Amino acid sequence: MTESDDQTYVEWIAREARRPVVMGPAARTRIMDAVRAEPAPRRRFWHRLIEPRLISASPIASLALAAGLVGIGVFGGTFVNNRDGLTSTGLPQAVPALPIARVPVSDTVKVMTFRFIAPQAAKVSLVGDFNGWSVDETPMTRVDNGGVWSVTVPLSVGRHLYSFVVDSQDWIADPRAPVAPDDGFGHANSVVLVSRGSSS
């Protein structure tokens, strides 16, 4: 037997396996029927937040919302534990971790800080269902030139899945948080529960 025979056999298998297969004629229809029975997928969380919309509110509610915006801005700043979050006097100032941090504030949105230890990483970002799993939308900041990375984000009350992405390629679940079952996308994710009571 020759090497050529071997390779010919493998190539023959591959060639035959590349032929199209014929499925049941109604298979695609069944897929679309199932799709139409599902709720329509919504645009990503960030997109929904920044989409222009009309909001009507009473004068009292408007004042309360304005006060809440200022309060959350200052409150959120206290959780930003890095050099950029401190004034020259060392006091915390209201520096939103993300530009959007000042926008979506209500009793259903809380400010949360995520930290991750990765001394060798050149870049770490936070991804989750709250930012469309975008590797670029929520970069983390190295704290005090150490191995701790941190970012503060606003999250809606409820259950969220998230992961950390190291150097734009390695998806790593938070070792200090519960891990969600495999979501079918090939990565393990962590779970954070955001309650109305407190930020962390």
Partner 1 sequence: MSDDAADVQRVLGGDVDAYAALVDRYYDRCARFAVRMLGNRDDAEDALQATFLRAYKALNRYQERDRFSAWLYRILVNQCRSLAARRAHRERVFVREEALLLNAPDRAVGWTGEDEEFVQRVLAELEPLLREAFLLKYIEELSYEEMSALTGVGVSALKMRVKRACDRLRERWERIKDD
Tell me which residues touch partner 1 (CB under 8 A): 1, 5-6, 9-10, 13-14, 16-21, 23-24, 27-28, 30-32, 34-36, 38, 40-44, 129, 132-134, 182, 184-187
Of residues 18 and 53, the one with the C-beta less far from partner 1: 18
Of residues 125 and 150, the one with the C-beta less far from partner 1: 125
CB of 20 to partner 1, least distance (A): 6
Q: Is 115 exposed, middle or buried (0-12, 13-18, 19+ CB in 10 A)?
A: middle
CB of 22 to partner 1, least distance (A): 8
Of residues 28 and 83, the one with the C-beta less far from partner 1: 28
CB of 25 to partner 1, least distance (A): 12
Backbone phi and psi for residue 69, each to the nearest 5 degrees, phi listed first: -60, -45
Distance between CA 53 and CA 148 in Å, rounded? 38
Of residues 95 and 191, the one with the C-beta less far from partner 1: 191
Token pair 């390779």 in the structure block, residue: 7
Distance between CA 25 and CA 128 in Å, rounded? 38
CB of 42 to partner 1, least distance (A): 6
Work out whether strand 190-194 and strand 141-142 pair parallel, antiparallel, or are unpaired. unpaired
Are the CB atoms for 94 and 77 separated by under 8 Å?
yes
